[in-house]
Amino acid sequence: MTVIKGYNVAVVGATGAVGQKMLETLDKKDFPIENLHLLSSKRSAGKELTYKGETYVVKEATPESFEGIQIALFSAGGSVSKKLADEAVKRGAVVVDNTSAFRMDPEVPLVVPEVNEADITKHKGIIANPNCSTIQMVAALKPIKEKFGLSRVIVSTYQAVSGAGNEAVEELRQQSQDFLNGEEMTADLLPVNGEKKHYPIAFNALPQIDVFQDNGYTFEEMKMINETKKIMHDDSLHVSATCVRLPFFTAHAESVYVEVNDANITVEDIQQALKNADGVVLEDDPTNQVYPTPLSASGKSDVFVGRVRKDIDHPNGFHLWVVSDNLLKGAAWNSVQIAESLIKNNWL
């Protein structure tokens, strides 16, 4: 008999959009916590947050914060992870990192539990949580690849502002109200915090998420391309992405085109595979106008798939519409799932 014990858990970036969803998820899943440490940047230190009815004062994250910590959930931005993740590991913690800092590091497993849980065993202290838009896509691709083979993916995204943090949520809200009032909109943050130019997101669409790379793709697009290959263990998989920010608050949607290896596969085959997949919910009944939307998926932890269609010209081609809450399965939920897997499998 195993006696369930509690763990000393740190949440780094506890005051952020994802950090708050981490706390909600830990609570909802009744994660076995002995001591909870809420950490943040110096700027947010001193704020108070509640967890299961108790009030916690958020402390500034320093190397010493991780003394005695067994599990550290990081989502305070790449620079914080680069500075402190190793310090946490040095002090005995296993880090689940929700930033892009270590995702493509060959020494660091990049994990979506439904897709590649066993990769967690290879960890050397840090496990990376993939980019939100990648997680939901690979969750839908996994059962298709496993059953029918997969050679090609072309995705166009429809991404919520909360992926850019609480300030972007506020910016959309303020701009929307200003526009409805007939006032001029002020853009200070999106598409990318710190970039030279900012454009209104309210009642608009911005084909830029994260900074541009030399090849004309944005960093967000390259994350989707590279992370998908790593998670699916398939460097030969052709992946391309166009990432677009849109004026809604929560949940990303994706128009995904795939080519499977077998030309005899039907829409029903794909639907059946998705229906049986862990963490995926098929919502696909055009006759009754059933398909997922950002509003219908918000606040839920699954990945929803609808609009499964065969390409009209290409016998191996299919189209899918994939929607999931970017702060839950796309971030907090997936991170906590990794932490649960560490415990359940004694991989800590």
| Active-site annotation holds for 252 | yes
Binding to a copy of itself by residue 293, rule CB under 8 A? yes
- Binding mask of the shown chain, residues 134 to 153, with x at each position contacting a copy of itself by CB under 8 A: ------------------x-
**Residue 132 a catalytic site member:** yes
Nearer CB in complex with a copy of itself: 120/209: 209
> Is residue 246 a contact residue for a copy of itself (CB under 8 A)?
yes
Burial class (CB in 10 A: 0-12, 13-18, 19+), 34: exposed
Tokens standing for residue 273:
């595979």
CA 150 to chain centre: 22
By CB under 8 A, is residue 299 in contact with a copy of itself? no
Distance in Å, CB of 42 to a copy of itself, minimum: 30
Q: Least distance to a copy of itself from the beta carbon of 269, Å?
A: 14
CB 284 within 8 A of CB 313: no
Query: Residue 253, interface with a copy of itself (CB under 8 A)?
Result: yes
Strand order across the 7-12 sheet: 59-60, 33-40, 7-12, 71-74, 94-97, 126-128
- Applying CB under 8 A, the span of 88-96, 102-110, 193-201, 338-346 interacting with a copy of itself comes to 193-201
The nearest distance, CB 148 to a copy of itself, in angstroms, is 18
Tokens of 336: 């906590």
Residues whose CB is less than 8 angstroms from the CB of residue 50 and which lie 6 or more positions away in sequence, other chains included: 56
Q: In sequence order, which residues have a C-beta less than 8 Å from that of residue 124 and are 6 or more positions away?
A: 89, 107, 108
Task: Specify the residue, 123 or 145, whose C-beta has the smaller distance to a copy of itself.
Answer: 145
- Applying CB under 8 A, the span of 14-22, 46-54, 170-178, 332-340 interacting with a copy of itself comes to 170-178
Helices (H), 181-293: 219-231, 267-275
Minimum distance from CB of 70 to a copy of itself (Å)?
Answer: 39
194: left (phi over 0), alpha (psi -120 to 50) or beta: left
Pick from 348, 307, 303, 344: nearest CA to 323: 303
For a copy of itself, the closer CB: 16 or 200? 200
Q: Are strands 252-260 and 150-158 parallel, antiparallel or unpaired?
A: antiparallel
Residue 307 binds a copy of itself, judged by CB under 8 A: yes
User: Is residue 176 at the binding interface for a copy of itself, with CB under 8 A as the rule?
Assistant: yes
Q: Residue 4 Cβ, how far from a copy of itself at the closest point, in Å?
A: 40
Q: Could you say which residues in the range 212-241 bind a copy of itself, by CB under 8 A?
A: 212, 215-217, 225, 238-240
The reply to whether 300 sits near a copy of itself by the rule CB under 8 A is: no
Query: Is 275 an interacting residue with respect to a copy of itself (CB under 8 A)?
Result: no
Give 111-149 as a DSSP string: --HHHHGGGGGG-SSEEEPPPHHHHHHHHHHHHHHHHH-
Residues in contact with a copy of itself by the rule CB under 8 A: 152, 154, 156, 158, 173, 176-177, 180, 191, 195-197, 199-200, 203-208, 212, 215-217, 225, 238-240, 242, 244, 246-249, 253, 255, 257, 267, 286-289, 291, 293-296, 306-314, 317, 319, 321
Q: Could you list the active site residues?
A: 132, 252
